[in-house]
Amino acid sequence: MSKKVTVSTIQKIKNSGAKFSVLTAYDYSTAKYIDEAGIDIVLIGDSLAMVALGYETTHCIGVEEMRIFTKAVAKGVQHAMVVTDMPFLSYHCDLASAVKNCGEMVRCGANAVKIEGYSEYILQVIKRLVESGIPVMGHLGFTPQFLNTLGGYKIQGKTTEATEKILKEAKELEAAGVFSIVLEMVPQESAKYITENLKVPTISCGAGKYCDAQVLVSDDVFGKYSDFKPKFARKYGDMKTLIYDCAKQFDEDVKNGNFPSEEEVF
Ligand code: KIV
């Protein structure tokens, strides 16, 4: 088994010009398998509110739920870095509660946390977390927790001015101490420019091929979540059909007496 991925591993990958991979996971066995597959960062994304819990937006999940899912995922992971996405309002109220809530995730097995957005206050939160020994992944471009203020699922950084604004914010996050930055729904050329002007790695979530890493929601990759598929996601499997077929076969076997067999009884 290869060595545990840390913030310095991630920076070394960026410096060498290689790429790294990030996938979300919400449960023990999925985390175990994607870790064994060689994924570098396993993210307990707050996307779990929608894809695993069926809520309408990521606003509906809180610290307590993220603690439970973090514990489950962390137990499954040996090699990858485990990052917990801090939910809506868990770091916005004041610095003390931000450090406490993020620290709780580390207690549950996270190696780092992800926080969305940029403001003078967010910069203070990042500094305080890093001073407390909690590595932070930033998240700019489209930030789902700001859905209502952004006015919907909109591509960010479409103009030169908007790209320069994201770069300025990214540089300030970098100076505050983040070890990486997710760029979500940013045009490929804008993300390329931002990536080339940062020291820390960028992680594309629908921001094209020039970022240092790619992240996708695992339920999109596995073909499990079918309510909506973002344009930038790639489906590598069809778990929805697999689950349906297995459940259908089991249902038939139970009803026609084919389950259990002689080998399946005591
Ligand atoms: O919530 C999430 O899963 C995310 C990633 C897709 C970046 O924030």
**pLDDT (tens digit, 9 = 90+) per residue, 118-150?**
999 999 999 999 999 999 999 999 999 999 999
- Give the pair of three-digit tokens for residue 219: 């339920």
| Residue 252 bears catalytic tag | no
pLDDT at 164 over 90: yes
Q: Are 190 and 170 a contacting pair, CB within 8 Å?
A: no
Question: Strand locations in the chain, DSSP E?
Answer: 20-24, 41-44, 81-85, 112-114, 136-141, 180-184, 202-205, 213-216
Has this prediction a pTM greater than 0.85? Answer: yes
**pLDDT (tens digit, 9 = 90+) per residue, 36-61?**
999 999 999 999 999 999 999 999 99
Pocket residues: Cβ below 6 A from ligand 1: 24, 43, 45-47, 85, 182, 205, 215, 217
Q: Which atom of ligand 1 is nearest to the CA of 24?
A: 3
Tell me how far the alpha carbon of residue 17 lies from the centroid of ligand 1, in angstroms. Answer: 24
Tell me how far the alpha carbon of residue 261 lies from the centroid of ligand 1, in angstroms. Answer: 43
Q: Where is 129: in which H helix or E strand?
A: helix 120-131
Among the listed residues 116, 172, 184, 252, the single catalytic one is 184
Ramachandran area for residue 39 (φ above 0: left; ψ -120 to 50: alpha; else beta): beta
- Give the pair of three-digit tokens for residue 118: 């940029």
The Cα 213–Cα 226 span in angstroms is 25
Hey, which of 184, 224, 234 would you mutate to test ligand 1's pocket, going by the most ligand atoms within 8 Å of its Cβ? 184
